[in-house]
Amino acid sequence: MPEMPADGTARTWWRDGVLYQIYPRSFMDTNADGVGDLPGITQRLDHLQWLGVDGIWLDPITVSPNADWGYDVADYCDVDPPLGTLADAEELIDQAARRGIRVILDLVPNHTSDQHPWFLDSRSSRDARYRDWYVWRDPKPDGSPPNNWVNAFDPSKPAWTFDDHTGQYFMNHFLPSQPDLNWWNPEVRDEFDRILQFWFDRGVAGFRIDVVHMLVKDRDLRDNPPAQPDDHWFVRLRGQQQIYNACQPGTHEVLRRWRAICEKYDPPRILIGETHVHEYELLASFYGNDDELNLAFNFLLIHAPFQAEPLRAIVEGTEAAMPEHSWPVYTLGNHDNTRFPTRWAGGDPAKARCALVLLMGLRGTPFLYYGDEIGMPDTPIPADRILDPVGIIFNGHYGRDPERTPMQWTSAAGGGFAPTGVEPWLPYGDAASYNVEAQRDDPTSFLSLTRDLIALRDDVDALRSGSYTTIATDDNVWAWHRGNGVVVACNLSDTATSVRGVTGTIRMSSDPDRAHEVVAGSLTLAPWEAVITAL
Ligand code: NOJ
Ligand code: CA
């Protein structure tokens, strides 16, 4: 495998660095078919190196009929042809390593595509070789599904589909074309050990694991209890608590097995989980005894409003629940959530800048989603261009295409994503207002703010590794100490205010015009201003 460059310090790339998520179909198209590809990512590595990121996570690149855009896998050990070849993946890993950037892939172990050879065989007959690789059950006597579990995409539907051919239901928590694997089958576990090693042997630095909390289900398939009035709104939306189809001891067993595989490599590979849970203790449990996930995504932050009190409560709750050895990871968006300049900032650049400073000031690894660095908002999708299966289910009222549109490199037609005249797979956004080229040499741009914040984290040890302590403030301000001497203060309101007890120098403000003034006792904050000071 390619040499991982050593930076000569005791830093750990995934704890001390900044990571960046790429949606491969939308980053850069090199062969003018309107679909981003792996050679395109390789071509844009210089941008990422210039930005200062330490690792990239690619949404699935493996073979897929694309019913759910890569999250329906038909072959775990090859590259989806529109994205490139295995050789392209190796070239990307190699070129990234030369720039000090690690490559993390997406692993989708909860389900496969219904076109995967395992499922084609499994559904062929009740005694097929792969029958037990998936979850098959008889209907209840009245013909209804085996239990009350609901579908994750559409909670009005069961997590089961009836198969006429063999007269049983199979389990699918997502699309019917994404049947759930049976993680009680030891052959499934062995197979995934091999898949992990296949990619690790090729220099892949780790995996982001799709719906990791749902991997192993209750063996007896017991019914879930209904949601309660004080449950998180996401749980209420689902209508039931995931007591039996999520967070099972068996999942932790699988994670310990995978972590042991990771630790056999030099440097050790890492596991990042899509831990879509809404209780701090559950989130913390995925770190195990430092023998499960290295990083467990915190969705509470993404699902919160852009207000001081709820955000502070989430970080305090997380800090209190996390075991000593664990390390948080935060992001403001991803391919399943509307972009933060839209969701949190409503198009107001001051709010979006404030949000970015907030993220970069937290204790934990920050993950950027491609386009975040230029403050890229959602792109409205006309009804006839909806491609996300969830967008189709909800008829455009809700869907994930708006946050998946092509990266905006330049203001030219095609946004630098594909040659002019090429129709991109999803529509272009407002590349004239938000693009890398226009922002690159402007010290007041969003891109400069992102790059400067990454550099500041690199420079100020306490901003990377210092502890988190809340500072008492007015209601609409959220401020905290990072270790000794660093203060992050965010005014999440329309009114100017100040934070008492701050001493140091302003190292960064979301306001590009704010000078690096000395603060002696009281830090003033303009509306929606976020500031980082250091001694
Ligand atoms: C979570 C992924 O992030 C999402 O995009 C996908 O649709 C579901 N899991 C199913 O794999
Ligand atoms: Ca292409």
DSSP string spanning 70-137? TSS-SEEEEE-GGG--HHHHHHHHHHHHHTT-EEEEEE--SB--TTSHHHHHHTT-TT-TTGGGB-EE
Domain limits of the chain? Answer: 13-109+186-210+243-454, 467-534
What is the atom index within ligand 1 of the atom nearest the CA of 390? Answer: 7
Per-residue model confidence (pLDDT) at position 9: 56
For ligand 1, pick from 57, 210, 394, 400 the residue to mutate: most ligand atoms within 8 Å of CB.
210
Q: Look at ligand 1, atom 4, and give the residue with the nearest C-alpha.
A: 336
Question: DSSP state, 371?
Answer: T
Catalytic residue among 29, 180, 274, 378: 274
Per-residue model confidence (pLDDT) at position 279: 95
Which residue, chain included where needed, has tokens 């994503």? 417
The question of whether 210 is a catalytic residue gets the answer yes
Which residues line the pocket of ligand 1, CB cutoff 6 A? 68, 71, 108, 174, 210-211, 274, 335-336
Q: What is the mean pLDDT of the chain?
A: 96
**Amino acid in position 182:** N
- Report field, pTM of the whole predicted structure over 0.85: yes
Per-residue model confidence (pLDDT) at position 121: 98
Q: Is 142 exposed, middle or buried (0-12, 13-18, 19+ CB in 10 A)?
A: exposed
Question: DSSP state, 150?
Answer: B
Interatomic CA distance for residues 529 and 497, integer angstroms: 10
> Has domain 13-109+186-210+243-454 been given CATH number 3.90.930.60?
no
Per-residue model confidence (pLDDT) at position 5: 45
- Taking CB atoms within 8 Å and a gap of at least 24, the contacts of 378-382 are 378/338, 378/339, 378/342, 378/343, 378/402, 378/403, 378/429, 379/405, 379/426, 379/427, 379/428, 379/429, 379/430, 381/405, 381/426, 381/427, 382/427
The ranges of the chain with pLDDT < 70 are: 1-9
| Protein residues placing their CB within 5 Å of the ion ligand 2 | 29, 31, 33, 35, 37
- What is the topology classification, in CATH, of domain 467-534? Immunoglobulin-like (2.60.40)
